[in-house]
């Protein structure tokens, strides 16, 4: 199996892991640490506000994610939020990237998990705003 078929298998596997997180609550919580001020990422954008998914707070370590360029690639998924052994891709389409200063840090992201499985992709976290935890570096 190669090409799009292998990609679909990977997306389905990632979607299953993320779905487990959604139901287990490992990555999200009702309150974020209040160590710094929240920085708006996409919360003020019409395309973000128009999505029907509920906003929640997701906690973990923001990491860079390698994106392989291809005609069907989601190249805007350059980051991932890691919590334990689980990672969810984070949508960051802008060149003037608000997320870069948070790489390697423990963060809380107020955002929406958007499921693009019907389009052949998977679930991804769209950040409305972000704040770093008191600990500046993640382990």
Give the CATH number of the domain where residue 96 resides: 2.40.50.140
Total domain count, the chain? 1
Q: What is the mean pLDDT of residues 23-28?
A: 44
85 part of a folded domain: yes
Q: Is residue 138 part of a domain?
A: no
| C-beta pairs of 27-30 under 8 Å, 24+ apart in sequence | 27/58, 27/59, 27/60, 27/81, 27/83, 27/86, 27/88, 28/56, 28/57, 28/58, 28/59, 29/57, 29/59, 30/57
Phi-psi region of 60 (alpha: psi -120 to 50; beta: other; left: phi over 0): left
**Distance, CA of 27 to CA of 118 (rounded, Å):** 24
Alpha-carbon Rg for the chain, nearest whole angstrom, is: 15
Tens digits of residue pLDDT in 55-105: 999 999 999 988 777 666 677 888 999 998 889 999 888 766 789 999 999
With 90 as the cut, is the pLDDT of residue 28 above it?
no
Residue 137 lies in a domain: no
* pTM flag (> 0.75): no
Q: What share of the chain is helix, strand, coil (3-state, %, to 5)?
A: 20, 30, 45
Paired sense of beta strands 106-115 and 86-90, if any: unpaired
CA dihedral over 102, 105, 111, 112, signed as positive or negative: positive
87 vs 89: CA distance, rounded Å = 7
Domain containing residue 108: 4-132
Task: With beta carbons less than 8 A apart as the criterion, state whether 129 and 39 touch.
Answer: yes
- Note whether residue 65 is domain-resident: yes
Q: Please indicate, yes or no, if residue 43 is contained in any of the structural domains.
A: yes
Asked if residue 139 belongs to a domain, the reply is no
Confidence check: pLDDT of 114 > 90: yes
Domain contains 100: yes
Both structure tokens of 122? 């998977």
């Amino acid at each position: 199996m190669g090409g799009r078929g292998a990609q679909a298998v990977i997306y389905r596997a990632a979607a299953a892991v993320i779905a487990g997180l959604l139901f287990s609550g490992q990555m999200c919580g009702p309150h974020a640490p209040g160590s710094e001020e929240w920085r708006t990422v996409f919360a003020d954008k019409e395309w973000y506000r128009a999505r029907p998914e509920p906003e929640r707070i997701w906690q973990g370590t923001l990491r860079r994610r390698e994106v392989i360029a291809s005609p069907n690639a989601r190249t805007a998924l350059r980051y991932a939020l890691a919590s334990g052994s689980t990672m969810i891709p984070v949508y960051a389409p802008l060149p003037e990237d608000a997320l870069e200063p948070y790489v390697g840090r423990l963060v809380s992201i107020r955002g929406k998990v958007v499921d693009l499985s019907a389009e052949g992709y998977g679930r991804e976290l769209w950040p409305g705003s972000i704040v770093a935890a008191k600990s500046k570096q993640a382990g």
